[in-house]
């Protein structure tokens, strides 16, 4: 038999060599992959908890009754979480419908506040501001009622088309009001008492007109 060379590892390692071999072996990724994750440990704990509750050896089947009670409590907590989590989402959606950005400008006022501001501008013969404010009051009012959404980036003519789906009898008036707003706001043309009256009339009409339900596409 050929003798082992001096570089061959010893068949019976000493303590230090054995520890080194063990550390090298345990550093293999296969061992790390085999370790249970935090989720695995949690799932196992839950499993053991319910198995303990269902333990048939409990006096008077108390374990089974405790398990049933635990399931009822768990179901109630899930329902409560859904209710509590759903309410803020509905509030955020309602708040988003009347968001601060309206036709390219930041606007935090309510529809009523915008109507009062438009009337004050009209009393001062500031027709540009009166037309712009009253058109924004029209859009904000429909958004507050949950009828027409005005997300950031919505154009005044896009709003008019959506509003016409709710108020088909006001389609032409809504389009004319949007045109007046564009002329004053973007084309920088001077506003007039006639344009303000035009926008104010369609706003007043939208408040009292019957609403047509949207048909799902």
Residue 20 falls inside a structural domain? no
Kindly report which listed range (7-16, 119-128, 142-151, 167-176) carries the lowest average pLDDT score.
Answer: 7-16
User: Of 97, 115, 137, which residue is a domain's last?
Assistant: 97
Residue 25 falls inside a structural domain? no
Kindly report which listed range (4-18, 66-80, 100-114, 192-206) carries the lowest average pLDDT score.
Answer: 4-18
Do 89 and 107 sit in the same domain of this protein?
no
Predicted confidence at residue 82, as pLDDT, reads: 65
Do 74 and 148 sit in the same domain of this protein?
no
DSSP 35-73: SPPHHHHHHHHHHHHHHHHT-TTSGGGHHHHHHHHHHHH
Do 154 and 167 sit in the same domain of this protein?
yes
Dihedrals φ, ψ of 185, to 5°?
Answer: -80, -40
Do 42 and 131 sit in the same domain of this protein?
no
Show the tokens assigned to 43.
């799932």
Residue 84 falls inside a structural domain? yes
Q: Cα(62)–Cα(28) distance, rounded to whole angstroms?
A: 47
Predicted confidence at residue 101, as pLDDT, reads: 84
Residue 8 falls inside a structural domain? no
pLDDT-above-70 percentage for the chain: 54
Predicted confidence at residue 150, as pLDDT, reads: 86
Residue 14 falls inside a structural domain? no
pLDDT-above-90 percentage for the chain: 44
User: Residues 77-93: pLDDT tens digits?
Assistant: 676 656 655 544 444 44
pTM: 0.55
Do 106 and 180 sit in the same domain of this protein?
yes
Mean pLDDT score of the chain, rounded to an integer?
77
Do 48 and 123 sit in the same domain of this protein?
no
Please count the structural domains in the chain.
Answer: 2
* CB neighbourhood size of 123 (10 A): 9
**Domain, as residue range, for 79:** 38-97
The answer to whether 69 and 76 have CB atoms below 8 angstroms apart is: no
Q: Cα(44)–Cα(114) distance, rounded to whole angstroms?
A: 60
Residue 31 falls inside a structural domain? no
Predicted confidence at residue 104, as pLDDT, reads: 85
């Amino acid at each position: 038999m050929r003798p082992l060379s001096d570089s061959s590892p010893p068949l019976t390692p000493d303590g230090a060599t054995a520890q080194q071999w063990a550390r090298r072996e345990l550093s293999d990724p296969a061992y790390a992959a085999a370790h249970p994750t935090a989720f695995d440990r949690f799932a196992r704990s839950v499993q053991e908890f319910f198995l303990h509750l269902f333990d048939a050896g409990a006096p008077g089947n108390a374990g089974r009754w405790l398990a049933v009670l635990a399931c009822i409590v768990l179901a109630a907590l899930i329902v409560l979480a859904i209710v509590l989590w759903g309410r803020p989402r509905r509030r955020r959606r309602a708040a988003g419908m009347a968001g601060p950005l309206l036709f390219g400008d930041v606007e935090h006022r309510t529809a009523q506040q915008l109507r009062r501001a438009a009337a004050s501008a009209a009393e001062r013969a500031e027709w540009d501001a009166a037309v712009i404010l009253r058109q924004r009051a029209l859009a904000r009012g429909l958004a507050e009622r949950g009828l027409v959404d005005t997300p950031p980036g919505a154009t005044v003519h896009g709003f008019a088309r959506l509003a016409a789906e709710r108020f088909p009898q006001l389609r032409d008036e809504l389009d004319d009001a949007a045109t007046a707003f564009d002329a004053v706001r973007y084309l920088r043309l001077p506003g007039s008492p006639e344009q303000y009256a035009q926008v104010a009339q369609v706003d007043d009409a939208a408040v009292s007109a019957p609403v047509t339900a949207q048909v799902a596409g």
